[in-house]
């Protein structure tokens, strides 16, 4: 695992590059195994040890920022989210996805798995990259957002879903799936791959929000379905820290990467609040 101020020269991962990758620790709870690191996701992944994580959840750039407009709280607003979300050429998008997903495969334990979110803007590239790299795709989840914003152009169907790909490291891996827990959460019936989950609630944005923030209920279902207490979870694009909050709640160990200090500040506050909250008697959002 990465240590604070460690460089790639001292990391055991055999695929780590020769150049130095400085680790800037932003938040850490050693006893519970929770930490946030500031830096470029690809550089930090390249500096980490082989087979370090049981599960990876990734919410990578969707490349939606094309100077268009959308509707938010009844107002017309720009879709631009930042330079990190600007759409490069198609071959550049594919190269980016192959690069970071290749590092994820190295970082996963032999029976580890990964979840990746996306829309039509990026998910086909992600799926092709997963197959190219030898992952085994287990499910494509359709997350129905229940109350999506209207389509202002009136030339398309309203975008009401996102796709989440669940894949294991390779075809022979014995991935974790807590089938009975998911069945129980679904009223005793097999849970389907269509998930109706509301976008983040106001409480989840009390310290500020990320433009692509995911709801805690979504991450709680993912972590409870495909990992166990004590497992190591990585979120290489952690934003405002939803994965870390849920990892703390469900007693998983967690590492999150982000380059933006403002979002890491929000993430640290949210995780600290979760750690200070009274223990919940039953799981939520599964």
- Which residues 6+ apart lie within 8 Å of 3 measured at CB? 23
Closest listed residue to residue 219, CA positions, set 149, 115, 137, 85: 115
Whether residue 67 is contained in a domain is answered as: yes
Residue 282 inside a domain? The answer is no
Q: Torsion angle, CA of 165/169/175/181, rounded to 10 degrees?
A: -30
Residue 77 resides in a domain: yes
The pLDDT score that the predictor gives to residue 149 is 75
- Which structural domain range is residue 257 located in? 8-276
Residue 173 belongs to some domain of the structure: yes
pLDDT of amino acid 282? 46
Residue 202 is classified by DSSP as G
Q: What is the mean pLDDT of each run of 10 residues along the chain (286 residues)?
A: 45 40 84 97 96 98 60 49 62 94 98 96 96 98 87 82 97 97 98 96 92 95 98 97 98 97 96 87 50
Question: Into how many domains does the chain fold?
Answer: 1
pLDDT at 254: 98
Q: Where are the beta strands (DSSP E) in the chain?
A: 24-29, 34-38, 53-58, 69-72, 75-78, 108-118, 136-144, 161-168, 194-196, 232-235, 253-258
In a domain, 190, yes or no: yes
pTM for the full model?
A: 0.85
Q: Residue 82 falls within a domain, yes or no?
A: yes
Tell me whether residue 284 is in a domain.
no
- Measured CA to CA, the distance from residue 85 to residue 63 in angstroms comes to 5
The reply to whether 36 falls in a domain is yes
pLDDT value, residue 279: 67
Q: Tell me the pairing of strands 69-72 and 253-258.
A: unpaired
Can you name the residues that pair with 75 across neighbouring β-strands? 72
Q: Report the CATH number that the domain containing residue 69 is assigned in CATH.
A: 3.40.50.150
CA atoms within 13 A on the CB side of 81: 18
Give residue 150's pLDDT.
76
């Amino acid at each position: 695992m990465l240590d604070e101020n460690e460089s790639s020269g001292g990391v055991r991962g055999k695929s780590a590059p020769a150049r130095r990758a400085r680790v800037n620790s932003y938040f850490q709870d050693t006893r519970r195994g929770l930490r946030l690191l500031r830096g470029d996701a690809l550089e930090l992944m390249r500096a980490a040890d082989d087979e370090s994580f049981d599960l990876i959840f990734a919410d990578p750039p969707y490349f939606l920022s094309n100077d268009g407009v959308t509707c938010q709280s009844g107002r017309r607003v720009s879709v631009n989210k930042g330079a990190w979300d600007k759409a490069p050429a198609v071959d550049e998008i594919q190269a980016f996805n192959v690069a970071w997903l290749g590092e994820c495969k190295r970082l996963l334990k032999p029976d580890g798995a990964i979840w990746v979110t996306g829309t039509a803007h990026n998910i086909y590239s992600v799926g092709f990259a997963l197959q190219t790299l030898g992952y085994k795709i287990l499910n494509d989840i359709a997350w129905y957002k229940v109350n999506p914003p209207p389509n202002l152009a009136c030339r398309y169907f309203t975008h009401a879903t996102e796709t989440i790909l669940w894949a294991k490291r390779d075809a022979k891996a014995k991935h974790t799936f807590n089938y009975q827990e998911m069945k129980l959460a679904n009223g005793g019936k097999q849970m389907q791959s269509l998930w109706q989950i509301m976008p983040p609630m106001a409480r989840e944005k009390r310290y500020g929000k990320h433009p692509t923030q995911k709801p805690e209920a979504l991450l709680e279902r993912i972590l409870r379905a495909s990992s166990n207490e004590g497992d190591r979870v990585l979120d290489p694009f952690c934003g405002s820290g939803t994965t870390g909050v849920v990892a703390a709640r469900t007693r998983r160990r967690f590492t999150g990467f982000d380059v933006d200090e403002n979002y890491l500040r929000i993430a640290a506050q949210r995780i600290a609040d979760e750690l200070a909250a009274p223990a919940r008697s039953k799981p939520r959002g599964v």
